Structure 1
Amino acid sequence: MLTRKILILNGHPGDRSLSKSLSTAYRDAASTQGHEVRWHDVSEMEFDMDYGMGGYSNAKPLEAPLEQFLSDLEWADHVVVATPLWWGALPAKLKGLFDRALLPGRAFDTRNTSLMGVPLPLLTGKTARVLLTSDTPSIYLRLFYGNAIKKILSRQILGFIGVKPTRFTAFASATGASAETVEKWMRKASDLGRRAA
């Protein structure tokens, strides 16, 4: 079996969460299978979430956790992001991580653009898996909300920097899920981790 270099990011800002449990199950199974894994947990990372008004030419220096995340993102060939769906989007701290760390020169190149003016992505050759927890069933995400969260992550964030394809595994409804259901979800996350899928 081909081993992979996997970056796992638990994007839930709480120190205990279903997202953390799922990403931990993925991590443990991937490591046991012999994949190289690097772990990041938003709840343990200290950084200023606000990009501010400096602009790309005068961006804030990256704090050590953000620099390590970006270095590991450059290293990885597979990226796993576990996140809850909050107010139809990402938790603020996870969005702040993307705002601060995904900068020109490392994540994309504003000096080289497509015919439509889109910057050249610099983190190509990587795939992604999103472990998405929510109380909104997948069919409602698709029918009523047009899969907005999936489009944001797969096209406007990960795809923009060259990480594609992004595949999603949804775990819903999360609130009040039975112990049996959660255990089934943990087995699913472990299976994905073993296969580095």
Structure 2
Amino acid sequence: MLVLVVYCHPVETSFHAALHEEVVRNLRAAGHEVDDCDLYAEGFDPVLSREERLGYHEVPSNQIPLKPYVERLQWAEGIVFCFPTWCFGLPAMLKGYFDRLFMPGVAFDLRDPQNVKPMLTNIQRISAVVTYGRPRWVAWYMGDPPRKIVTRYMRRLTGKQARVDYHAHYHMNVATEPQRRRFLARVGSAMARFA
């Protein structure tokens, strides 16, 4: 399978960096072709400019500023997001990736606004590896936007055909080393079975 890994964390010594490495290593060991998109390392600009917003609906010229990222997304058969939850949402860098890249002509067909059609039908498999600083009940109380973006919004953009899983480690603020090791192993096993 052709798998796009979208990784978003600025610190190379973080637990999330170890999770990212585990994701990529196990996907490759399982025989998948992996495009490893490290948003911070690549210097991705998350800011939707005035010009981009004004041309947002102008297909296909709206894709010109992000052509390489559009091609990578359209290439993928599977996608794995690897990110921390900050302020109960996506990190700004990843939110900007969604804001700029998931546009008309790429993620959805908006020619008939009453009948929006999904365009990421090339993606058959979606997964996410996510950490939270707070317990699960607090994320639930806050509505858990990251989980909804991955399990609902992303799946909808595939025409509701993609299989989705979501691997979350809650309460990272007090996680012990054995808890982190267990989650790392769980993520590795999930990626080894990714199909």
CA 87–194 in structure 1, closer or farther in 2 if over 3 Å, else same: same
**Alignment partner, residue 192 of structure 1:** 190
Separation (CA, whole Å) in 2 of partners of 1:53 and 1:154: 30
Separation (CA, whole Å) in 1 of partners of 2:83 and 2:92: 11
CA 13–67 in structure 1, closer or farther in 2 if over 3 Å, else same: farther
CA drift at 1:112:
4.0
**Alignment partner, residue 33 of structure 1:** 30
Q: Which of these residues, 141, 145, 150, is aligned with residue 153 of structure 1? A: 150
**Counterpart contact for 1:154–1:165, Cα < 8 Å:** no
**Counterpart contact for 2:88–2:144, Cα < 8 Å:** no
CA drift at 1:78:
1.3
**Alignment partner, residue 6 of structure 1:** 3
**Counterpart contact for 1:30–1:196, Cα < 8 Å:** yes
Q: Structure 1 unaligned runs (5+)?
A: none
Q: Structure 2 unaligned runs (5+)?
A: none
CA 152–29 in structure 1, closer or farther in 2 if over 3 Å, else same: closer
| 1:65-84 pair list within 5 angstroms | 66-84=66-84
CA 59–67 in structure 1, closer or farther in 2 if over 3 Å, else same: closer
**Alignment partner, residue 105 of structure 1:** 105
Q: Which amino acid aligns with 1:40?
A: C
CA 16–161 in structure 1, closer or farther in 2 if over 3 Å, else same: farther
- % same residue: 26
| 1:121-132 pair list within 5 angstroms | 121-124=118-121, 125-132=123-130
Separation (CA, whole Å) in 2 of partners of 1:126 and 1:42: 22
CA 67–61 in structure 1, closer or farther in 2 if over 3 Å, else same: closer
Separation (CA, whole Å) in 1 of partners of 2:10 and 2:164: 22
CA 61–70 in structure 1, closer or farther in 2 if over 3 Å, else same: closer
Q: Which of structure 1's runs of 4+ aligned residues deviate more than 4 A? A: none
Q: Which of these residues, 174, 177, 181, is aligned with residue 175 of structure 2? A: 177
**Alignment partner, residue 166 of structure 2:** 168
CA drift at 1:106:
1.9
Q: Which amino acid aligns with 1:159?
A: R
**Alignment partner, residue 16 of structure 2:** 19
Q: Which amino acid aligns with 1:80?
A: V
Q: Which amino acid aligns with 2:144?
A: N
